[in-house]
Each structure stands twice: as C-alpha cells, then as structure tokens.
C-alpha cells in the first residue's frame, strides 16, 4: 500500500458545543482525489480547515508526511494549497497583484507566469484592473489561477466550482484530474456532480461519522 501523504487518526470536530463527527480515519496518497460529501452541517468545511491547519481538532490528529500537522506550521504553505469557499482576494488589488501576494506565501511567481495563469483561466486582458470591477465568476477565476502556477502538490479546495460557468466547470474538472494523474493530490467539497475523475478518486460521506 502506498504511504499516505495526508492522514487523519480518530479525528473529531466540535463546533458551537456540538460534536460534528468523530473517529474519522482518512488516508490520501499521491495521485488521489477525495471528495468530502454529506448533509449541510455535517462538518465538511470544518474538516477541510482541520486538514489545512486552520483549526485544531477536538480529538485525534492530522498527519502530513507522517508528522503531526501542528508541528509543521512553517512548512504548510510549501506543502499544501488552500482555497476556501470565498475567493479570498483583495478587491482593491488587481488579479496580478493578488496572485503575486498569495504566491509569496510559498513560491514567488514571475510576472510572466502570473499572466500565463490568468490567461489559462480566461482572464487575458483583466490582469491589471481592480478586482472589485470583476464579476463573481471572474473573481473565482483569479483565486483558481493559483492552481496554474508552481504550487504545492496537495490542494484543499472548498466548493471550487462556485460561480463558474459551464466552460469553467469543465476546465477545472480536467485540471484537477490532470493534477492527480501527474502525482498531485486533491481534497475538495462540492455540490457539483463531477463528470471527470482520476483513477484515484473516492468519496467520503461525513454523515457516516456523524454523532
């Protein structure tokens, strides 16, 4: 069996004095994609935040490359890329400025690389306009352009298809599957039914670990 890059051991999460799930064991190895599903309120976003080191578990632990996640705070940005449900960009900055700032967290990107990434998500010609002038779908594309730059192998994505049109959805599906087929890893939540999945795809229904 391939050694997992990301692993949870007896993980439990409590929010607002309510235990959402417990005893969750998860393993993610190179080339795999895990879709986290479950009913509203089952803790899907909370789980992604736990896997990204943005929250601490109520019980259990998260391991990254065999070591506790909480011991690798300075290494996280070089090991995983988190894109949340919100676009996470600054309205007053341009797409290029946003990506330059975000990439500085792990791997500074050149002007040319950023413009190529923006072109890849259909934003050629919008590189230097303030993001508050862009539509919701275009702002989402700015955030997703990070996936077209030199990025960490592990992508953790919360509802990445939000606000995308049909063409954008198909392109992102293809890109995520291709990332896994090249040895990368993806953990995501989505209400969208995926039509393009890598061989290492599986679904984890958090409802099975509900308390």
- The DSSP bridge partners found for residue 188 are 35, 157
Cβ-Cβ contacts under 8 Å for 101 (sequence gap 6 or more): 90, 93
First to last CA, the chain: 30
Residue 16 in domain: yes
Is residue 107 in some structural domain? Answer: yes
Examine residue 89 and state whether it is found in any structural domain, yes or no: yes
pLDDT in tens, 80-120: 999 998 888 999 999 999 999 988 877 789 999 999 999 99
In a domain, 25, yes or no: yes
Domain contains 197: yes
| pLDDT tens for each residue of 149-170 | 988 999 999 999 999 999 999 9
**Site of tokens 């600054």:** 90
Mean pLDDT, residues 124-143 taken together: 96
Residue 99 CB partners (closer than 8 Å, separation 6+): 109, 114, 117, 118, 142, 145, 146, 149
Tell me, what CATH number does 53's domain have? 3.40.50.300
Could you tell me the residue range of the domain that residue 110 belongs to?
Answer: 6-209
Positive or negative, the CA dihedral 6, 82, 173, 176 is negative
> Is residue 1 a part of any domain in this protein?
no
Number of domains in the chain: 1
């Amino acid at each position: 069996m391939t050694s997992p890059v990301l692993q949870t051991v007896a993980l439990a999460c409590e929010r607002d004095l309510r235990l959402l799930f417990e005893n969750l064991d998860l393993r993610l190895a190179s080339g795999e994609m895990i879709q986290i599903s479950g009913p509203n309120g089952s803790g899907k976003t909370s789980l992604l935040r736990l896997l990204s080191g943005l929250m601490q578990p109520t019980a259990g632990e998260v391991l990254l490359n065999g070591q506790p996640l909480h011991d690798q705070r300075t290494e996280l940005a070089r090991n995983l890329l988190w894109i949340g449900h919100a676009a996470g960009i600054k309205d007053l900055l341009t797409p290029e400025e946003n990506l330059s700032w975000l990439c500085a967290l792990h791997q500074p990107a050149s002007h040319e690389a950023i413009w190529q990434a923006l072109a890849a998500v259909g934003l050629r010609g919008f590189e230097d306009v303030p993001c508050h002038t862009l539509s919701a779908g275009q702002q989402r594309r700015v955030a997703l352009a990070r996936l077209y730059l030199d990025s960490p192998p592990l992508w953790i994505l919360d509802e990445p298809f939000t606000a995308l049109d049909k063409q954008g959805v198909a392109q992102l599906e293809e890109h995520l599957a291709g990332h896994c087929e090249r040895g990368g890893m993806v953990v995501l939540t989505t209400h969208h039914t995926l039509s393009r999945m890598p061989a290492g795809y599986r679904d984890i229904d958090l409802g099975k670990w509900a308390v």
